[in-house]
Every structure is written in structure tokens, then in C-alpha cells.
Chains A and B, each alone.
Chain A
């Protein structure tokens, strides 16, 4: 039961993108369309799971003072692996994401989970936590990527939705990333406020 709770926390209550607002650089940069967003999300998910497993396994032997450099080395090794694998198997995606694959190293979500969760919990719990956070991140990226692709190009995952009827090209350009993410964030905030007000009204009755 606790596992499911960890999983759900990452997906919803503590969603890394919309609630914690972490890892903004890849979120904004790689969501020009839904496909790139999915690629970036899965690459991050893979690194997150692997690094959480290793950090959790070695937690007994890591001296407290130098734990951060050790975590960074662990994360950087997995990022290098993912980078080389993507170069080998998904060359086009690797080329589009470019700089942002090595930059997974400095994604605050991964170091944050290693520090605040995996270094204190068992391997199994850490895997579930990584899955939840990683899927939450991937989901948010796909949402953002789909909205931008839909508004900017009239398609989602390359499938035409309304075709050429409306194309706001700016949504694919850098300003669109900021604008769409800001709007989505406001939308989730207003849902949160609505729910809280509802809960308060319920208490009064």
C-alpha cells in the first residue's frame, strides 16, 4: 500500500513539474512537440530509476560529507550510458534533444530524489518513488508538449487534429514554452484552490 502511495505522490500530489516546479530547463526546452517530450521524459525516467537503485544500495557506505559528489558521479555515469545508447538506437531523437541529454546530470529532480528519498529508504521503495516521480515528470512533459504541438502545428504526436485551421507558430518558439507552462500552472493552481474551498465548505456543514 505504501508503495502505491509513493507512486501516486510523484504522479499527482508532488508532481515534479507542476507542484514542485523542478527541472524546468528540459521541461521548457524539449517540449516543442509531444514526441520529443516523451523521449526526454523516458530518458530522465531511466536515469532516475537506475540512480535511485544505486544510491539506495550504497547508502551504508557513503560518508556524509562527500555524499553529493558521489551521487553526481553515479548520476553522470548513468547519463553517459543513456546518452550512448540513444546515440546508437534512436539517432534522430538524440540529435533533436542534443545538449539536453548530457544535461540530465544537472536535473534537480534526480539529485533531489537521491538526496531526499533514496539515501534514506529501501531499494524497493526507492524504485517506486523513482517510478512515480519519473512518470509524473514524463506525463507533465507530454501534456506540455501536446498542448504546444496542438496550438503551434495542429497535431499531437504527428496526428492531425485540426490540421491547418489554426497555427500559432509562436507556441513552438521559445516564448510559447514559457506562456503555455505558465497557463497550465495557473490552471492546476486554480483547480487546487477550488478543491481547497470545497473542502472548507464541507467542513463548515
Chain B
């Protein structure tokens, strides 16, 4: 039951983008089209689960050696390498997807959601199974927010937005309203 709560809370209540503010750069950057948003979400879910499993084992090692203060450096290097691998893989398997994601794939490295997730897992002392479930939930939550947001932005192209609000400003305000909607879930689960 606890696993289910962790999963649900990661998707809805503590949504990574809308209530924890992790991964805002891709959220604002890749959300102009639903197709690229869904590609990005897939990439993020994939990287999140793999990287958090790897960092979980790494953390065991670091704790054993008494080197906890190196956590940040080790995690970011592992994540950067991993993203590089995934980039090569997608480039080979699906050039179309690679083209759509453009510069944002290497930017997953500097996506704070990935490193943030690894650090949250360590802070909360999750077991391996809890880590996997939480990462999956966080990734899905990120993907859901991104896809909903991109759908809204696609519609918004048809409306006459006042000149100063064009671009990022109206996107942020939309995100604010979306975040307000997600606040409605906050009473759902207490963890």
C-alpha cells in the first residue's frame, strides 16, 4: 500500500514540475508541440528510472566508504555519462525523434529533475523498490504535466495574446493556473 501512495503522490500531489519546480527548463522549452513534448517525456521517464537505480547502488557504495560529501559530484557525472549513452542510442534507433528533440536531449544533463530525483531518493532513504516506483511516478508526473501543458500551448496559438505577454510570460501564467489545478490534489494523500 505504501508503494501505491508513493507512486500516486509523485504523480499528482508532489508533481515534480508544478509543485517542486524541478525540470522547468524542458517544461518551458519543449512544450510548444505535443509530439516533441511526448518524446521528451519518454526520454525523461527512461533516464529517470535508470539513473535513480544506478545512483541508489552508488549511494550504498559511497556510504560504505564514508564519502557522502561526494554525492553531488558523483551523481552528476554518472547522469551526464548516462545521458550521453542514451543520446547515441536514440540517434541510431530513431533519427526522427532525435531531430525533434534537437538540443534538448543533451540538456537533460542539466535537467534538475534527474539530479533532484536522485538526491530526493537518498534523502528519503528509499529502498530499491521504492526508488523504482517513485522514479516511475516522478517521470510520469513530469510527462503528464508536460503533455497537458503543451496541449494548452498548442491551442493558445490561435488566440490573440497581448503583445508583452507573448512567449514565456503567458506560458508561465498558464503554468501557474495548471499548478493551481494540481493544488487540488494536495489533500489526497498525506506522506
Q: Which residues from chain A sit less than 8 Å from chain B, CB to CB?
A: 21-22, 24-25, 28-29, 68-69, 72-73, 76-77, 79-80, 83-84, 99, 102-103, 105-108, 111, 170, 173-179, 181-183, 185-187, 189-190, 193
A77 to B70, alpha carbons, bound, how many Å? 9
Which residues of A have CB within 8 Å of B177? 175
Contact A69 B168 (CB under 8 A): no
Contact A183 B173 (CB under 8 A): yes
Q: Is the interface of B mostly helix, strand, loop or mixed?
A: helix
With A25-B22, A185-B168, A189-B164 known to touch, is A178 a contact of B76 (CB < 8 Å)?
no
With A178-B175, A187-B164 known to touch, is A80 a contact of B24 (CB < 8 Å)?
no
Contact B77 A80 (CB under 8 A): no
Q: How many residue pairs at the A-B interface have CB separations less than 8 Å?
A: 123
User: What are the 6 A-B residue pairs with the smallest beta carbon separation, nearest first?
Assistant: A178-B176, A182-B172, A190-B164, A29-B21, A182-B173, A179-B176
Partner pick for A177 among B21, B162, B167, CB 8 A cutoff: B21
30 inter-chain pairs at a CB distance below 8 angstroms, sorted by A residue, are: A21-B168, A24-B25, A25-B21, A28-B24, A69-B77, A69-B80, A72-B76, A72-B77, A72-B80, A72-B109, A76-B73, A80-B69, A103-B115, A106-B112, A174-B19, A174-B183, A175-B180, A175-B183, A176-B176, A178-B179, A182-B171, A182-B173, A183-B169, A185-B172, A186-B162, A186-B164, A186-B170, A187-B164, A189-B167, A190-B163
With A76-B72, A187-B164 known to touch, is A182 a contact of B110 (CB < 8 Å)?
no
Additional pairs, 8, CB under 8 Å, beyond known A68-B109, A73-B77: A25-B23, A68-B80, A99-B120, A103-B112, A108-B110, A179-B176, A189-B163, A193-B164
